[in-house]
Structure formats: structure tokens, C-alpha cells
Amino acid sequence: MSELIKIFDTTLRDGEQSPGATMNIAEKVRIAEQLEKLNVDIIEAGFPISSEGDFEAVRAISKTIKHSEVAALARANPKDIDQAWGAVKGAKFPRLHTFISTSDIHLKHQLKKSKEEVIQIAARSVARAKRYTSNVEFSAMDATRSDVEFLSAVYEAAIRAGATTINLPDTVGYAIPSEFGDLVRTLRQKVRGIEKVTLSVHCHDDLGLAVANSLIAVQNGAKQVECAINGIGERAGNTSLEEVVMAIRTRSDLLRYHTRIIPRHLFATSRLISKITGMAVQPNKAVVGANAFAHQSGIHQDGILKEKLTYEIMTPDSVGIPKTSIVLGKLSGRHAFRERVKELGYRLSEADLGLAFRRFKQLADKKRDIFDEDIESIVVEEILRMPRRFKLVYINVVAGNVTVPTATVQMEIGGQLLQEAGFGDGPVDATFKTIKKITRTKSKLLQFAINAITSGTEAQGEVTVKLEEKGQTVIGQGADTDVIVASAKAYINALNKMEFRKQKLVGM
Ligand code: KIV
Ligand code: ZN
């Protein structure tokens, strides 16, 4: 019989720890709604003590989500746990997730605590969380580099104190599959009471083994996998949700397990995360990459035309890759636009729909065919990116091979209209320097990239910029038929994210 594996999604918590992937509250709520639609069992919504923004985001998500559990992360101390509960208590199915490190390296250099102290802190923290909710998860950070006897003792103490899920993180992505599988099996034999709780794994991808490690853990008795959409997360990222889910589904002949995930929502979820975080999905990414179902070689194309099974182990349909994406044009009305927005998975208020529709009409004046990607861009840029401190009002750029590139920019900052002009080495440089002057910001530009969202010369250009300030990096995106305007939007989007990032108080 096939056993259920719970999917715990940490896109909004560990995923947001990806360099540059800061999201605002509206964006996080939108992602949480999509994760619920995907049917994940648990949404880890954030780390409430880390900033006011995180606290508010967890609170807003808790109020919105109706079916999935909502988890809030807390270090193993009373203040973190109380704050996490304050944020998540409004959820229909709340979960508190508390953690402490268990490896010798972390105990000696970071925590500066003895093993005995760590056991006591773990137990006390779980007990405190338990006063608030029966649903408590405990994680032993850096578990895979910890002494197994000690790790078992910490888990036993957490279980005795009332933890209902015990999580085994490969925090630094160090384990290899055979070893990780053995560790799961060993813990199941050693830890008293483990059979009464859900055993979970949380793998990082530093050696590219996160999905393999998660699967071997499942084969050795883990019942919950922690993962993130597109595999985003701290450093090299976390286990990719879409990969682990599709591996379980596609190889059900060997893996006698199932998840509750609805695979046809995977592609849309992947795109949404990529749009909002500004982190592009590599074309050859398994399951959701642009080339995941593209057959290039003549032999493969021939085979596919004769019988899809020759070279396809899953269908694009099954993960929700649309067949054709030309949708609307200049003559399309509000009703058609509303329906398309709905089909793409966005629920907008009448006011937001009106705003998006006006922007759609402006775009349709410049561009004949409006694709799904264009509509997504409008919705994400015009609706989800609000509220913003810096807003572009207008931009005028003069450039060419016989003139000094000059940008005149007007912006609204805190309700005030400000205007400046500036020169640069090219039109983009002039634009960025002028925006920097108006906003009085000091961020350094680390990366600049332009992509066409769809095909053809009238396609919208999508610009991605990466900015750095005092060691913090953010990614901004902007789209427009004019690449200079798209560049200005991307730069301002990144500045807004940087503002949001500055509110962060503690990291991990
Ligand atoms: O990687 C890790 O150890 C974590 C824990 C907080 C679960 O993210
Ligand atoms: Zn992690």
C-alpha cells in the first residue's frame, strides 16, 4: 500500500533566505495562496522574530490560509517562541517550529553551550511552544554533522516535552544519500518514542544531493519532506518541491508513496516564485525549466512524433505547462481580461483588476499579442509590488551615438514629487545614476540582465538587476516594451526591496 508523505514548503522562510529573494507582505500572501492551491500540507510562512515585516507576513498568511497548516519558525528561546505564536495564532491549523544546533562545531563556535545545556534548552522550548499549540516541530540544526548518540538524546528530550514532528536537517548540504538513509534508519531504531511522531527531513543542496537525500530518507521511513519551489533557499538552496514530488509520482513502481500535491499547478507556482523573487529558473531545470520538455535532436523528435513515451517520462500537461500562450489583444474587453487573470491563478479585487486592465490596454496599444507572461508581469508589477516607497512617475532619456546620454526622471517618494536629470556612459547608466540621485541611495549595482519575455521585436523586455548595500543583496525586476523604462522599473523595484530588507533585525 502507498504511504502518504507530507510536503512541508519553506519557500517563504528558507527560500526567502536566498541572496536577493526578499518579498513584501502582499507577495508572500499571494505565494501562500498558490501553495495552498498546490495543496501543500504545511506552509512555513516565516521567522517572525527576524523583522516586523516577517511578523506581519506570517500574521497575514495565517488569516488567509484555510486548509494547509501554517508554521512559524522560532529559535529555542522564550522570546522567539512567544513572538512566533503571536504571528501564527490566527491560523486555522497553526504549527510552531523551534530549532537549536546540535553539532560539536556549532556548540563550540556559535552557541558556546554544553551538550547538557542544549538538551535542556530543546526540552524547555518545546514545552513552551506546547503551551500554545499541540502542533510543535523540533529541528536539530546541523544534525548530519552531529554525534548520533547526542542527537538521539536531544530528539528524545524534545519528544518527551511534546514535539509532534522531529526534523532532521542537513543544514550545510554535507550528507551523501547512503549515509543519510542510514542515519534516518539509525534514529528510528535508537530514539525512544520516535514512532509516535512524524519524522521529517530538511536537505540543502550544496553538493546537488538534496532531492536524492530526501528520497532515500523517505525510503528509510521519513514521513515529511521539507522543500521549496524551484529549490530556492539558503546558499545552494533546499530540496526542490517539484522534483521530489514528481520523482515520487513518476517512479511509483519503486517508490510506494504518494503526496497530496496537485501536480498540474507546479508550473504556475514555479513561475510565480520566479517572477516575485526575480530568481530566474535555469532552462535545463528538471520538471519546470523551459527545456524540460523540449526535444532538440532529430532522433528524439522522430521518436516523440511516433510515440511520446519514447523520450518523455512525464507529460508537460501533468505539471501544468500550457500548450499555447497567445491570449489577448487590443480588442479584448475587461471580461476576457478578468477571466484570463483568473485562469492564471490570480484573485484581484475590482479596484486592482481595474488598475491591471488599464495597464493591459496601454500595453496592447504598443504590442499586438498579449501573452500569459505579459499578463503575469502586469499583475506582479502593478498589483503585488505595492506598497512601495519609491515610485516612478516619468522618465525621458536622450541617447544615440552623437549625444551624451541624458536621463530626466520624476519620482514620487513619500507623497512628494521629485525630479532630477543626469548623464551617464549610456542610457541605462544615465537612468540609474539619476534615480540614485533622487532617492539618495547608496546601493551598488552588481548585475544587470535583459531578457525578452516573449518573442518578436515588439516583445516586452524584462530587466533584472542585483543591488548590494552593506552586505545585503536584493534582486529587482521590471518589464516594459521600452528596455530603458524596464531598467528604471527594475532598479526602483530593487531599491524598494532594499528598503524592506533594512527592516530585518536578525538573520540566521
Ligand atoms: O537548514 C536548517 O537547519 C534550517 C532549520 C531552521 C530547520 O533551515
Ligand atoms: Zn534550511
Ligand 1 pocket member 173 (CB < 6 A): no
Taking CA atoms only, the protein residue closest to ligand 1 atom 5 is 141
Helix (H) or strand (E) holding 119: helix 115-132
Q: Which atom of ligand 1 is nearest to the CA of 508?
A: 6
Nearest CA-CA partner of 368 in 329, 325, 327: 329
217 versus 291: the higher-pLDDT residue is 217
> Looking at the chain, how many residues does it have?
508
Q: Is 205 in the pocket of ligand 1 (CB under 6 A)?
A: no
Q: What angle do CA 321, 322, 325 make, to 5 degrees?
A: 140
Query: Is the Cβ atom of 21 under 6 angstroms away from ligand 1?
Result: no
Q: Helices in 265-412 by DSSP H: which ranges?
A: 266-277, 298-306, 334-343, 350-366, 372-378
CB of 144 closer than 6 A to ligand 1?
A: no
Percent of the chain with pLDDT over 90: 68
Tell me what pLDDT residue 77 has. Answer: 98
pLDDT greater than 70 at residue 422: yes
pLDDT tens-digit readout, 199-210: 999 999 999 999
Which of 8, 10, 14, when mutated, tests ligand 1's pocket best, judged by the most ligand atoms within 8 Å of its CB? 14
Q: Which residues surround ligand 2, an ion (CB under 5 A)?
A: 14
Angle of helix 334-343 relative to helix 350-366, nearest 10 degrees, comes to 110
Dist. CA 202 → ligand 1 center (Å): 7
184-to-97, 122, 176 alpha-carbon distances in Å? 20, 20, 12
Q: What is the rounded distance in angstroms from the CA atom of residue 267 to the CA atom of residue 289?
A: 9
Q: Is the CB of 76 under 6 A from ligand 1?
A: no
pLDDT per position as a tens digit, 387-412: 678 999 999 999 988 889 999 999 99
Q: Which atom of ligand 1 is nearest to the CA of 13?
A: 8
**How far away, in angstroms, is 50 Cα from ligand 1 center?**
14
pLDDT more than 70, % of the chain: 96
Q: How many angstroms separate the alpha carbon of residue 345 from the centre of ligand 1?
A: 30
If one counts every other C-beta atom within 10 angstroms of the C-beta of residue 40, the result is 29
Question: Which residue owns the Cα nearest ligand 1 atom 1?
Answer: 171
* CA-closest candidate to residue 168, choices 146, 135, 193, 190: 146
Distance 89 CA to ligand 2 centre (A): 23
How many Å apart are CA 505 and CA 502, to the nearest integer?
A: 8
Domains of the chain: 3-277 (3.20.20.70), 294-383 (no CATH), 390-507 (3.30.160.270)
With bands split at pLDDT 50, 70 and 90, how would you rate the model's confidence at 249?
very high
Given a cut of 50, is residue 505 above it in pLDDT?
A: no
Distance 141 CA to ligand 1 centre (A): 6
Mean per-residue pLDDT of the chain: 91
Give mean pLDDT, residues 481-502.
88
Please name the residue that has the C-alpha cell 528561546. 77
Cell of 465: 538587476
Residue whose CB lies within 8 A of the most ligand 1 atoms, among 10, 49, 141, 238, for a mutation test = 141
* pLDDT value at 325 more than 70: no
pLDDT in tens, 61-101: 999 999 999 999 999 999 999 999 999 999 999 999 999 99
CA dihedral 178, 243, 281, 44 (to 10 degrees): -90
83 lines ligand 1 (CB under 6 A): no
**CA 14 to ligand 1: nearest atom:** 8
Residue closest by Cα to atom 8 of ligand 1: 14
| pLDDT confidence of residue 308 | 86
Is the CB of 50 within 6 Å of ligand 1?
no
Quick one: pLDDT at residue 386?
54
Whose C-alpha lies nearest to ligand 1, atom 2? Answer: 171
Judged against a pLDDT cut of 70, whether residue 503 lies above it is answered with no
Q: Give me ligand 2 centre to Cα 347, in Å.
A: 31
Higher pLDDT, 154 or 391: 154
**Cell numbers 540543502: residue:** 204
Answer whether residue 473 shows pLDDT above 90.
no
Q: What angle do CA 407, 411, 429 make, to 5 degrees?
A: 30
Pocket test for ligand 1, best of 111, 139, 144 (most atoms within 8 A of CB): 139
| Among 97, 203, 214, 508, residue to substitute to test ligand 1 (most atoms within 8 Å of Cβ) | 508
Confidence of residue 455 (pLDDT cuts 50, 70, 90): low
Question: 137-151, 240-254, 282-296: which has the minimum mean pLDDT?
Answer: 282-296
What CA–CA distance (Å, rounded) separates 232 from 415?
35
Q: Which atom of ligand 1 is closest in space to residue 17's alpha carbon? A: 8
Distance 493 CA to ligand 2 centre (A): 27
Check if 14 has its Cβ closer than 6 Å to any atom of ligand 1: yes
Q: What HEC string does 37-66 produce?
A: HHCCCEEEEECHHHCHHHHHHHHHHHHHCC
pLDDT at 328: 83
- With a 6 A CB cut-off, is 99 part of the ligand 1 pocket? yes
Q: Is the pLDDT of residue 458 over 80?
A: no
C-alpha 31 to ligand 2 mean position (Å): 19
Q: Is the pLDDT of residue 45 over 70?
A: yes
Q: Tens digits of per-residue pLDDT, 352-382? A: 899 899 989 988 888 878 888 788 888 877 7
Yes or no: say if 504 and 495 are a contact pair by the CB < 8 Å rule: no
- Per-residue model confidence (pLDDT) at position 506: 43
Query: pTM of the predicted model, to two decimals?
Result: 0.84
The closest-lying atom of ligand 1 relative to the alpha carbon of residue 171 is 1
Higher-confidence residue: 478 or 322? 478
Instruction: Give residue 37 CA to ligand 1 midpoint distance, Å.
Output: 25
Residue 508 has what pLDDT? 44
Q: Output the CA–CA distances (angstroms, integers) from residue 353 to 60, 344, 359, in the order listed.
A: 21, 13, 10
Select the more confidently predicted residue: 265 or 369.
Answer: 265
Closest CA to 214 of 197, 237, 191: 237
Does residue 171 have its Cβ closer than 6 Å to ligand 1?
Answer: yes
Q: Which has the higher per-residue pLDDT, 40 or 384?
A: 40
Per-residue confidence (pLDDT) for residue 324, from 0 to 100: 58
For ligand 1, is residue 46 a contact (CB within 6 Å)? Answer: no
State the pLDDT confidence band at 306, using cuts at 50, 70 and 90. Answer: confident
